[in-house]
């Protein structure tokens, strides 16, 4: 009882501190200032994404170019999370394989209905197309590599839960995943070699609002899209089922 009230008391203290601190944060006010007299870095970003980078979506310009190094880090975090998951589940996969010779993977007990199967078949290519659209147009419309990749993985999830025997080719996944990650780093190295700064954009950035504009920004977002899509699919695959045998 005493312990519990002590915990409640501590939580209250924490709550008051957080409330007091965030009460002073000027949410909803214009704190950006203007470029000549900037109060925060945002003014600079808003000016330079259309004018210098020719990127219509300034969020993308910030994520991929101004703070591209963070994004490379976040891609790595996802990659490491998938790797860590695989390292923990790896041996279980082997054990179960040995134990379950002659059984189907346990993920589905009953076959899905005709409705679900037909619907999934129709939706799957459309979902993939939407995903690709989202990351290809990352520099023009809301969304981008992470979102597009997640949409693609949703398409695969739909197929995994609908069809018992839907398999993805692991080799293709691993190649796509590694090469797109590597391509991201190499784009950075390209900037380092030709302009002297890691991840620096090319001088040629095209016309605002064109599909091919923003220099390297759309290219990097395509790499991210492929990487996130294959990675999340891989994670789902690792989580959902044990490695299926050839003859099924």
DSSP structural state of residue 68? H
Asked whether position 20 contacts other proteins by CB under 8 A, the answer is: yes
Segment holding 151, helix H or strand E: helix 145-162
Give the span between the Cα atoms of 177 and 171, in whole angstroms: 10
From the CB of 38, what's the least distance to other proteins, in Å?
8
User: Based on CB atoms, which residue is closest to other proteins, 141 or 175?
Assistant: 175
Contact 132, 148 (CB under 8 A): yes
| CA 41/CA 36 separation, integer angstroms | 12
The piece of 104-112, 147-155, 198-206, 240-248 that touches other proteins (CB under 8 A) is 198-206
Give the binding range for other proteins (CB under 8 A) out of 83-91, 109-117, 121-129, 134-142: 83-91
Strand residues in the chain grouped as ranges (E)? none
Q: How many Å apart are CA 77 and CA 151, to the nearest integer?
A: 19
CB of 206 to other proteins, least distance (A): 17
Q: By CB under 8 A, is residue 245 in contact with other proteins?
A: no
- The residue (of 10 and 211) whose beta carbon lies closer to other proteins is 10
**CB of 236 closer than 8 Å to CB of 153:** yes
Of 6, 31, 113, 121, the residue at the interface with other proteins (CB under 8 A) is 31
The beta strand positions in 23-129, using DSSP E, are none
Q: Which residues bind other proteins (CB under 8 A)?
A: 17-18, 20-22, 24-26, 31, 38-42, 44-45, 65-70, 72-74, 76-77, 79-81, 83-88, 90-92, 171, 174-175, 177-179, 181-182, 185-186, 188-189, 191-193, 195, 197-201
């Amino acid at each position: 009882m005493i312990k519990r009230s002590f915990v409640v008391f501590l939580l209250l203290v924490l709550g008051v501190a957080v409330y007091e601190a965030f009460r002073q944060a000027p949410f909803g006010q214009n704190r950006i200032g203007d470029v000549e007299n900037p109060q925060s870095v945002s003014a600079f970003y808003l000016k330079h994404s259309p004018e210098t980078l020719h990127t219509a979506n300034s969020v993308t310009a910030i994520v991929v170019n101004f703070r591209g190094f963070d994004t490379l880090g976040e891609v790595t975090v996802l990659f490491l999370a998938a790797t860590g998951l695989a390292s923990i589940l790896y041996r279980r996969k082997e054990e179960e394989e040995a134990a379950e010779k002659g059984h189907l993977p346990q993920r589905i007990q009953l076959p899905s209905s005709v409705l679900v199967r037909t619907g999934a078949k129709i939706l799957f290519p459309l979902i993939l197309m939407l995903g690709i659209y989202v990351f290809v147009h990352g520099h023009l419309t809301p969304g981008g590599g992470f979102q597009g990749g997640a949409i693609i993985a949703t398409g695969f999830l739909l197929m995994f839960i609908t069809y018992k025997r839907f398999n993805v080719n692991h080799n293709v996944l691993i190649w796509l995943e590694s090469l797109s990650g590597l391509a991201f780093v190499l784009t950075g190295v390209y900037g380092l070699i030709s302009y002297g700064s890691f991840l620096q954009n090319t001088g040629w950035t095209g016309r605002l609002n064109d599909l091919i504009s923003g220099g390297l920004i759309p290219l990097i977002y395509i790499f991210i899209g492929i990487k996130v899509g294959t990675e999340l699919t891989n994670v789902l695959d690792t989580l959902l089922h044990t490695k299926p045998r050839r003859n099924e």
